Amino acid sequence: MITKIKTILQILYRKPQYFEDGMISIHLSNFRKDPKFVKAKQISLKRTGASEDIDWRLHVFLWAAKTCSKLNGDFIECGVNTGFLCRACVEFLDWDNLGKTMYLIDTFEGIPVELVTEKEKKINKQYLNPKGYKGTYSSVKQAFQGIDNIRIIKGKVPSCLGEVKSEKIAFMSIDMNSVVAEIGALEYFWDKIVEGGMIVLDDYGYSPKYLEQRLAIDQWASKQGVDILSVATGQGLILKSKNK
């Protein structure tokens, strides 16, 4: 308790360096001044029409993507929404010169009712309404127009995953707010993830309402013998090590 009080007083005494997206921190966030980061974020905001204040989450995403860009394998995002994270990613990595394919997978119509549990229906009402996603598919296509090797797949996970032709995956992002879809994607792609490849789980620890997803993913990870790094941003990070 004393330690917590000291921390609160320290935050009040010192100007927080970061205060957004459910996080407050006195620690340095110099990545926000990196010209490449700033440019990638601004271009993505402009091209996708998003209004995201998630710099630290974006930083984790871009760090993992950059690390994996050196591996032999393609990129996948399951749960695209506006495409903000991946649009920033292709700008940050100079995507056209990497020689990789990026698959963007989403229904672009919200979460299919048949893919949510009873608990998820209560907490994900806003994601179940197709009207809230009107025009998303066309806007994402426009946001990535002119960029090489982008494949946009409109469909339900896991039934549409056969449309991904890559046999080697270096980087994967999952953000579908559905236990069925997220576990389905993990099971389908795990054997295709190359050694050193990473999976970013966007909502792994983001808020208590996503606890059902976390428990299911933890159970899946335990069966695979892998550990998940829980990040203060709410993300989870999986590293595919040798023989895993």
Least confident of 7-21, 50-64, 68-82, 174-188: 7-21
Given the structure tokens 């698959």, which residue do they identify?
103
What is the residue type of 72?
N
Residue 244 lies in a domain: no
**Confidence at residue 239, expressed as pLDDT on a 0 to 100 scale:** 98
* Total domains, the chain: 2
Measure the CA–CA gap between 178 and 113, rounded to whole angstroms.
10
* pLDDT tens per residue across span 152-170: 999 999 999 999 999 999 9
My answer on whether 62 and 21 are in the same domain is no
Residue 103 lies in a domain: yes
Is the distance from CB of 146 to CB of 154 less than 8 angstroms? Answer: no
My answer on whether 136 and 79 are in the same domain is yes
Place 104 in a pLDDT band, splitting at 50, 70 and 90.
Answer: very high
Place 46 in a pLDDT band, splitting at 50, 70 and 90.
Answer: very high
Q: Which two tokens stand for residue 41?
A: 């974020």
My answer on whether 93 and 198 are in the same domain is yes
Residue 172 has pLDDT above 70, yes or no: yes
> What is the DSSP pairing of strand 193-201 with strand 236-239?
antiparallel
Place 79 in a pLDDT band, splitting at 50, 70 and 90.
Answer: very high
My answer on whether 11 and 129 are in the same domain is no
My answer on whether 6 and 83 are in the same domain is no
Place 86 in a pLDDT band, splitting at 50, 70 and 90.
Answer: very high
Residue 88 lies in a domain: yes
Place 125 in a pLDDT band, splitting at 50, 70 and 90.
Answer: low
DSSP code string of the chain: -HHHHHHHHHHHHSPPSEEETTEEE-S--GGGG-HHHHHHHHHHHHHH------HHHHHHHHHHHHHHTTSSSEEEEE--TT-HHHHHHHHHTTGGGT---EEEEE-SS---GGGS-HHHHHH-GGGS-GGGGTTHHHHHHHHTTT-TTEEEEES-TTTTGGG---S-EEEEEE--S-HHHHHHHHHHHGGGEEEEEEEEETTSSS-GGGHHHHHHHHHHHHHHT--EEEPTTS-EEEE--TT-
Is the distance from CB of 103 to CB of 75 less than 8 angstroms? Answer: yes
Place 4 in a pLDDT band, splitting at 50, 70 and 90.
Answer: low
Place 56 in a pLDDT band, splitting at 50, 70 and 90.
Answer: very high
Domain CATH for 143:
3.40.50.150
My answer on whether 178 and 232 are in the same domain is yes
Mean pLDDT of the 131-155 span: 92
Can you give the residue range of the structural domain that contains 11?
Answer: 1-30
Is the distance from CB of 21 to CB of 56 less than 8 angstroms? Answer: yes
Residue 53 lies in a domain: yes
Residue 142 lies in a domain: yes
My answer on whether 112 and 174 are in the same domain is yes
Rg (CA), the chain: 18
Measure the CA–CA gap between 229 and 226, rounded to whole angstroms.
10
